[in-house]
Structure formats: structure tokens, C-alpha cells
Structure 1
Amino acid sequence: MTRSLVITDCDEVLMHMVVPFAQWVDEEHGVIFRMEDTSFAGALKRKECGTPLEAAEVWPLLDGFFRTEMPRQYPIPGALSAMAEIARHADIVVLTNVGPDHQAARMAQLAALGLDAPVIGSRGGKGEPVRALIEERRPPVAVFIDDLANHHHSVAIEAPDVWRLHMVGEPAIADKIPAARHAHARIDDWAAAQDWILARLAEKAPAPAPEAV
């Protein structure tokens, strides 16, 4: 019988990212990361003069971090134990926007922590890869977890039957990010999130159709 499916992001859902990233760009690049609104790129400023980085400078920093600094990352409290419990009831796939270049490293990073799950290193909106997973696996119920509102919007369009949980597990930025309008719930704590996810899996009912996307 086809199992239910949980599709989860990694950074700020399973693993802390912005705090170790901020430490690294400060130490190695003379850049301060201080998030004052929802803009990640706008949070990066040169330490010597305070001017924001250009948009074209941001991805090379992120790419450099994921290429060499993943060992700085550490789990969000409760994430791994929640994944272990959820795995008793559903298959887990990690869908992360680190891109194909860092997919293998991300899988190894999580496997070393005891989470042996397939990893898809995507780019852009997550709606299409979520829809592809649903079409491939045909789960009785599916749950999507991510910290970014645009991905919930994308999934609401491409796979509206999937339950969508907005989670920002990093306290340093959680209060800067409003609840995603296209998610069914916003929970930043893994104990409560685990209960919510297991309840959706037990119900085995598709998510209600969004009023507008």
C-alpha cells in the first residue's frame, strides 16, 4: 500500500542556517547579516561601511557556504526526533533549494545525523517538484513544510491537495517573518508541529482547496 508523504525543507526547518551563515560571512567576508524585515538579501551589509550587498553578490556567498561550511550547521531542536516519529507513519523527502550541486552533500549531512531520506536539491518555486512527487508516489495524504511563503504559494497552485505547514525554526528571524497566507498553519515549534502533522496523516484527507491563489 502506498504510504503517506511528508515533504520538508531543510534550512530553518530541520537545520539552523542563518546563524552559522552570519558567523561565517562576518569572519571570512567582512559582511554583517542582520535581518530587519523579510528580505534575506537586504540583511547583508558590508561591515566597514554599512552598505547593502548587491543582489548579484548574495548567491555566491550562499553557494560558498553550502560548498564548504555545512559542518557549521546544527539541528533545530526537536526536528530529528520528530522526523523519526513521522517516519513511522509516512515516507519523508527533503526538498531543499541548495540546488543539484549540493544535493549529495546535504544528503550526507542529514544521514550523519540519522535522517536517511531522499534529498532533492531544487531551484526556484517548489510547486512543480512537489506535484511531480505526488504524481509519482500517489500518497493517500501529503504534507509540505517550508519556512518561505513563496513556496507555500507555489505548492498551493501546483498541488492544492497537499497540506502546507509554515515553520520558521530559527528564533533569530521567526518574529520577522509573517505567517504565510497560503499555508494551512504556522507552527515554529517541533513538538507542536509533530502533533499537527501526525493528525493530518491520521485523517488521510486531502487539504481543503484554497479560496484564491
Structure 2
Amino acid sequence: MISHFAEWVGEAHGLSFDLYADSFQSALSDSQGRRLPEERIWPLLDSFFRTEMDRQNIVPGAVEALAAIAEQADIVILTNIGDEHEAGRVEQLGRFEIRHRVLCNRGGKGRPVRELVEQMQPSAVVFVDDLSVHHESVANHAPDVWRLHMIAEPKLAQVVPPAPHAHARIDGWAEAADWIRARFSEGRAPADMEKEEQ
């Protein structure tokens, strides 16, 4: 999503988006290089999700990997967009034959992951996300969940370090699917487990 958003804010609004900024809030600037105030950022994101979903394309290998994982597990897509964009996200994913439960969320993902675990009572859980802040949130609220840091955007993957609260870092879906399915046989993650080297 992020590279498509960067293209769109440049084309439609004359803004610059720094893919390598340390936070979303610090990434956006105007034509004079001034950082955008936060109250202008959220309307831009809402507009992007309302009108530009078609810009986003599928990550290579994701469809096949998710299909393989779904043979063994229930998949829930926890996405940081407002409820008002849920139907658009479901339709967008459906175009790529990705049809799983979608939950919308604002902010950290730890609490909703913990609520899902409490609701579904699975034998093992794997959380996959590209943002380090969400791995920390899940580690704090649901420490027995396996956490895989994945950055599918190659430009970012080259420069973003592994999330310290993730158990592993894998940026390709084929290898990630194997890692995820291996965790199912191990049950819940030990809360004090050291991060694996990947």
C-alpha cells in the first residue's frame, strides 16, 4: 500500500512521501519541505482508501501462500483502516481470490489480536505484519503469539531492520508460509523465546 500511497499523494496533492521516514507522520511533507500536520494526514488516508484501492496490487506469492496456510488454519486479516472502508478492503482482496475474515482496527494491534485469541481459542497463532510497532504491541498484549516481521515492499525491506519483538524476519511469502506452518506444530509461542535468526 505504501508505495502506491506515495505515488498518489504526489500526483493528486503535490506532496512528498519519504518511504524511509521513521514514522508515517514524519514521512509527509509539502512542496516547501514542511512536515504535514497530523490533522491533514488522516483525511488523506481516508481519501486514498475511498478512491484509490485499485492502485494496490498483490504481493508476489501471497495468494498461493495464503491458500496453503488456509488448509491448516483460519486466517484473519487485521487491517488498520476504519470500519467505513471494510467493504472496499473485502472487495479488493476478493479480486485476488483472497477471501478471509477482515477486521478493521485503529492503532496498536495487540489488543485485537488478544481478543481474537480469546474468542477463537486456537492451539497456535501466528501474527504477520510489516510494522515493528505492531509486533511490540502484540508482544505486550498476547506474548504467546508467534510474530513474523515481513516487509513485502522491496525498497523498504532493504533498509528497515528486523523488528526486535518479532520471532523472525522473512520478506517473501513462499519461505514465510513454510515458517508459519512449522509453528502450528509447536503450539503457542513461549513468552520468553528469543528471536530466531532469519
Same fold (TM over 0.5): yes
Residues 1:46 and 2:30 are matched in the alignment: yes
Q: Provide the C-alpha distance between the structure 1 equivalents of 2:89 and 2:79, rounded to a whole number of angstroms.
A: 9
Identify the range of structure 1 (29-38 vs 104-113) with the bigger mean alpha-carbon deviation.
29-38
CA–CA distance in 1 between the matches of 2:158 and 2:192? 25
Greater CA deviation, 147-156 or 35-44? Answer: 35-44
More moved, 128-137 vs 173-182: 173-182
Aligned to 1:205: 187
Q: Does 1:19 align with 2:12?
A: no
Q: Which runs of 5+ in 1 are unaligned?
A: 1-16
| Contact kept in structure 1, 2:2 and 2:19, CA below 8 Å | no
Return the letter of the residue paired with 2:16: I
Q: Secondary structure at the match of 2:20?
A: coil
User: What TM-score, normalized to structure 2?
Assistant: 0.92
Q: Matched residues, percent identical?
A: 53
Instruction: Please state how far the C-alpha of 1:55 moved relative to its aligned partner.
Output: 2.1
Does 2:169 match 1:186? yes
Q: Decide whether the 8 Å contact of 1:166 with 1:183 is kept in 2.
A: yes
Q: Which amino acid aligns with 2:101?
A: P
The residue that corresponds to 1:123 in the other structure is: 106
User: Structure with the greater relative contact order (CA < 8 A, sep ≥ 6): 1 or 2?
Assistant: 1
Distance 1:151 1:32 in 2: 25
Residue in 2 that maps onto 1:3? none
Take 1:128 and 1:34, find their aligned partners in 2: how far apart are those partners?
29
CA contact (8 A) 2:3 2:19 kept: no
Deviation at 1:34, TM superposition (A): 2.2
Distance in 2 between residues matched to 1:55 and 1:171, nearest whole Å? 27
Is 1:172 matched with 2:155? yes
Provide the C-alpha distance between the structure 2 equivalents of 1:118 and 1:96, rounded to a whole number of angstroms. 11
Unmatched tracts of structure 2, length 5 or more: none
Count of residue pairs the alignment pairs up: 194
Q: Contact (CA 8 Å) 1:156, 1:210: kept in 2 or not?
A: no
State the 1:100 CA deviation.
1.1
Once residues 96 and 20 of structure 2 are traced to their aligned partners in structure 1, the CA distance between those partners, rounded to angstroms, is 32
In the other structure, the counterpart of 1:162 is: 145
Which runs of structure 2 are paired with 1:70-149 in the superposition (5 Å)? 70-149=53-132
- Is the contact made by 1:161 and 1:208 (CA closer than 8 Å) also made in structure 2? yes
Give me the whole-angstrom Cα distance separating, in 2, the residues matched to 1:21 and 1:37: 14
User: Whole-Å Cα distance in 2 between the matches of residues 41 and 196 of structure 1?
Assistant: 32
Q: Which amino acid aligns with 1:37?
A: A
Q: Deviations over 1:16-49 (max 9, x none)?
A: x1111111111110011122332222221223x2
Distance 1:40 1:171 in 2: 18
Runs of 4+ in 1 over 6 A off after TM superposition: none
For 1:57, the aligned partner's letter is: R
